[in-house]
Amino acid sequence: MKKLVLSMLLGSLVFASIPVGGVEAAGTTSVEVLLNTKKMSFPDAKPFQDSQGSVMVPIRFVSEALGAKVSYSKSGKMTVVGVTNKDHTVNMTVGQTTALIDGTKKSYGTKIILKQNRTFVPLRLVSEGLGQKVEWDKVGRWVWIGQKNFRSTDDKEFKLKSMNELKTYFAKTSNRLENMYGEKFEGVKVIIRNQLPIQLGDGQVIYSIDLVKINGKEYIKIRSTERGTPIDFLTKSDFVKGRFSLDSLFENNGDSTANNYYPVISNSDKFQNGTYVSSVDPTKFKFKNVDYITFATSKPREYIVAIANPFK
């Protein structure tokens, strides 16, 4: 029997100067960079999208992650930066919009700059120069580098824990410990928001999870490859609180992903183990008390996957 995963994708892109709709005319906008679907960490100088729409990255972090070496030298008052790997050589000069890619001059329309004592370059310059596939995900504001082979919760790095790890969350709703066939789950796998995107077993891919406000009301916004998959909120020593996405807010991103919105406050909380309890006031529910958010899928699975609440 396959796994029931409870827990918490990209049109074609052109880089160099990457024009993206909705970007303000001035200032910079942050972006995330993913290498082979894993988010890269930038300890000080962060990637950003400038006022022209160009995605700019600190060259040393990205190049070294791709296995290339970075060198710096002076030519008069100019700072020259070199990036090399076994197949390619990139030479660029701070303040210029052109670079030499394996000896061929190319223009990128955006200047190579110094910012926070780091050299920032247009992403396409590095990716083209080092032979990497690069895509721009305008929905998530993500840069994809390399292959889109998503990690799965089936992978060995995600350890299966005993269901005792979550027993206090199911004390009042014990039927959630079983799949749709009445079979008990073998265990639980806990993930965190920064491990997204991730595939749930061999099923849907969860890209992101956010807490948003619409017309003054709070919703959990989940971008995934499935529409309307139910979720649960787990709070210690309380009933499991199930949530369904709202069709009225559903967004098809047109890239094999969709945005689903789940209300934080719901009258469904009046139903406890199938019994309507009129004295329950759903508005008293505090999302900060939720420890885990879980997904319920339509396919039978062997384990539960729970994402730790990143909004506590």
pLDDT, averaged per 10 consecutive residues of the chain (312 residues), comes to: 34 30 43 93 88 88 91 90 93 94 92 90 84 90 92 94 92 85 88 95 94 97 94 94 96 97 96 90 95 76 90 92
Residue 254, pLDDT score: 96
Write out the E strands in 38-141. Answer: 38-39, 48-49, 55-58, 69-75, 78-84, 89-93, 98-101, 104-107, 113-115, 118-122, 134-137
Residue 270, pLDDT score: 94
Decide: 86 and 69 in contact? Cβ < 8 Å: no
Taking the chain, what is the end-to-end CA distance rounded to the nearest angstrom? 34
Report the predicted TM-score, pTM, of the whole model to 2 decimal places: 0.83
**What are the residue ranges of CATH 3.30.457.10 in the chain?**
29-137
Residue 3, pLDDT score: 38
Residue 228, pLDDT score: 87
Residue 206, pLDDT score: 97
CA angle (69, 73, 75) in 5-degree steps: 145
Residue 301, pLDDT score: 66
Residue 116, pLDDT score: 85
Rounded Cα gap, residues 197 and 41, in angstroms: 15
Residue 170, pLDDT score: 92
In the chain, what is the greatest distance between 2 CA atoms, to the nearest angstrom?
79
Residue 300, pLDDT score: 57
Rounded Cα gap, residues 32 and 47, in angstroms: 7
Q: How many CB atoms lie within 10 A of CB 304?
A: 32
One-letter amino acid for residue 298 of the chain:
S
CATH number of this structure's domain 29-137: 3.30.457.10
